[in-house]
């Protein structure tokens, strides 16, 4: 899905109400409007946030207002991006237009990068990085509150790399969920993991057909758990490890 931008106010109206410092990347209010801050107020970008300008009862991205006032042209359907990735740096030399990126993901959960699951942040060294996180709701607790989990999947230098990593992580997550479900649906596996002793667990697995055992081993491989040999003891130990890693 491509983001659609609203038309910006007329240039003459903006010039009447704001003074642009293109080198600093700031706007200064010239007139007092109803509900606005007083004249002399400087509007500038802040880190990790897409700064907006309120004008005539609507909100517009500061970067797009600066582009219009500096060039005289509304960016239209084009996206105004920060060359250095720093959303607080609205200097005109740090802005450029690009064709909006096609995003086939839903809007839900989209980070400030424009991609779902990708979040633009600065690390301890002050470098701008794109972090991949997957947020999930795992039901409700005894008090009825949602149980939410977050898993991190690394950081990347570009939004495109992070978006690709997110898609790969989602794919792996889906495969893991299916593998866990397959194991949970196998009665012999459930009896084995519930057994209180190794002999009882081995006996439980003795009721599995060769096809069921192979399916269980494949599911464990998807979960990143190796069955070290063909014995039932090895399978029991792998299943016990599964219950520790995926409680």
Per-residue pLDDT at 20:
93
pLDDT digits (tens, 9 = 90+) for 216-232: 887 888 777 888 887 88
Name the residue ranges covered by the structural domains of the chain: 11-98, 118-166, 186-245
- Which residue, chain included where needed, has tokens 């397959």? 182
Instruction: Return the percentage of the chain with pLDDT > 90, whole number.
Output: 16
β pairing state of 42-43 and 26-29: antiparallel
Residues 103, 1 contacting (CB under 8 angstroms) = yes
Per-residue pLDDT at 227:
82
Instruction: Return the percentage of the chain with pLDDT > 70, whole number.
Output: 86
Burial (CB count within 10 angstroms: exposed 0-12, middle 13-18, buried 19+), residue 127: exposed
pLDDT digits (tens, 9 = 90+) for 23-62: 999 999 998 776 667 889 999 887 656 788 888 888 889 9
- Which residue, chain included where needed, has tokens 């200064």? 28
Backbone φ, ψ for residue 190 (5° rounding): -65, -40
Per-residue pLDDT at 138:
63
Answer whether CATH 3.90.75.20 is correct for domain 11-98: yes
pLDDT tens string, the chain, 247 residues long: the values are: 456 788 999 999 999 999 999 999 999 999 877 666 788 999 988 765 678 888 888 888 999 999 999 999 998 888 888 887 778 889 998 888 876 654 433 333 444 566 777 887 766 676 778 888 877 766 677 777 767 777 788 888 887 788 888 878 777 777 778 888 888 888 888 888 888 888 888 888 888 888 888 888 878 887 778 888 878 888 888 888 888 877 6
Per-residue pLDDT at 113:
63
Global pTM value: 0.43
Per-residue pLDDT at 35:
61
């Amino acid at each position: 899905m491509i983001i659609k931008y609203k038309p910006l106010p007329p240039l003459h109206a903006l010039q009447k109400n704001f003074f642009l410092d293109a080198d600093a990347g700031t706007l200064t209010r010239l007139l007092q409007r109803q509900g606005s801050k007083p004249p002399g107020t400087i509007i500038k970008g802040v880190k990790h946030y897409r700064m907006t300008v309120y004008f005539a009862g609507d909100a517009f991205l500061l970067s797009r207002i600066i582009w219009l006032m500096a060039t005289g042209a509304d960016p239209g359907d084009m996206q105004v991006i920060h060359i250095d990735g720093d959303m607080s740096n609205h200097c005109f030399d740090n802005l450029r237009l690009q064709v909006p990126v096609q995003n086939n993901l839903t809007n839900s959960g989209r980070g400030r990068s424009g991609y779902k699951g990708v979040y633009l942040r600065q690390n301890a060294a002050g470098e701008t990085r794109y972090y991949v996180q997957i947020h999930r709701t795992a039901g409700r607790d005894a008090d009825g509150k949602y149980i939410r989990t977050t898993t991190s999947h690394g950081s990347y230098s570009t939004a495109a790399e992070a978006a690709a990593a997110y898609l790969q992580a989602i794919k792996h997550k889906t495969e893991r969920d299916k593998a866990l479900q397959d194991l949970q649906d196998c009665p012999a596996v459930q009896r084995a993991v519930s057994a209180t002793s190794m002999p009882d667990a081995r006996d439980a697995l003795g009721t599995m057909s060769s096809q069921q055992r192979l399916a269980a081993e494949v599911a464990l491989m998807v979960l990143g758990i190796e069955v070290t040999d063909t014995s039932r003891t090895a399978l029991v130990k792998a299943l016990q490890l599964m219950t520790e890693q995926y409680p």
